[in-house]
């Protein structure tokens, strides 16, 4: 009886890990799409709006509660602190603070950090241009993420379950 319960727990644990990895692979394209959408809204705010950057980020974050929107809320919070930090430093701290809660990877972080070097430190046209470039780069990453999802999502789920079954067989 104890072996049966132990075996079931092993299978459940490894299956849970497999489904967790599969969930991150599945969430990445969706979060990239959200990020691109939020950057497009930010571009519109910069080109046509009169709100300060902190208010624009807070407005974007208030649209829905997601891991990506928390990046914008953290950025707005950092900008509103008014501790004398540059816009880049505020965005960098926000990204470092919230990044682990997303399914995004290092490539997207690099794109965002490069974009943040321009935000608030150049004219509207230059910022809009860099936002467009960032959206284009993120679109390429989204396409790669979709290919990765197609290739690996099912594999992670299957490997989680099969690893648990293999461990149980080896323990018997």
pLDDT in tens, the chain (172 residues): 888 898 999 999 999 999 999 999 999 999 999 999 999 999 998 888 778 888 999 999 998 889 999 999 999 999 888 777 888 898 999 999 999 999 999 999 999 999 998 887 778 889 889 999 999 999 999 999 999 999 999 999 999 999 999 999 998 8
Distance in angstroms (rounded) separating the CA atoms of residues 172 and 169: 5
Distance in angstroms (rounded) separating the CA atoms of residues 113 and 19: 30
Distance in angstroms (rounded) separating the CA atoms of residues 92 and 36: 18
Q: What angle do CA 91, 95, 101 make, to 5 degrees?
A: 155
Q: Which residues of 131-151 are buried (b: 16+ CB within 10 A; e: fewer)?
A: beebbebbeebbeebeeebee
Residue-range domain boundaries for the chain:
2-171
Q: Would you say 19 and 160 are in contact if contact means Cβ atoms under 8 Å apart?
A: yes
């Amino acid at each position: 009886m104890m072996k049966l319960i132990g075996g079931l727990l092993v299978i459940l644990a490894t299956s849970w890990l497999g489904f967790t990895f599969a969930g991150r692979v599945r969430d990445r394209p969706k979060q990239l799409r959200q990020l691109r959408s939020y950057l497009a809204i930010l571009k519109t705010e910069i080109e046509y709006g009169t709100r300060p950057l902190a208010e624009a980020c807070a407005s974007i974050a208030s649209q829905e509660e997601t891991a990506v929107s928390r990046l914008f809320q953290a950025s707005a919070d950092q900008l509103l602190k008014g501790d004398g930090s540059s816009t880049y430093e505020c965005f960098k701290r926000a990204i470092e603070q919230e990044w682990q809660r997303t399914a995004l990877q290092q490539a997207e972080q690099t794109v965002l950090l490069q974009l943040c070097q321009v935000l608030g430190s150049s004219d509207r046209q230059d910022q809009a241009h860099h936002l467009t470039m960032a959206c284009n780069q993120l679109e390429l990453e989204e396409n790669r993420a979709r290919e990765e999802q197609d290739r690996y999502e099912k594999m992670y789920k299957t490997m989680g379950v099969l690893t648990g079954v293999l461990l149980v067989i080896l323990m018997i």
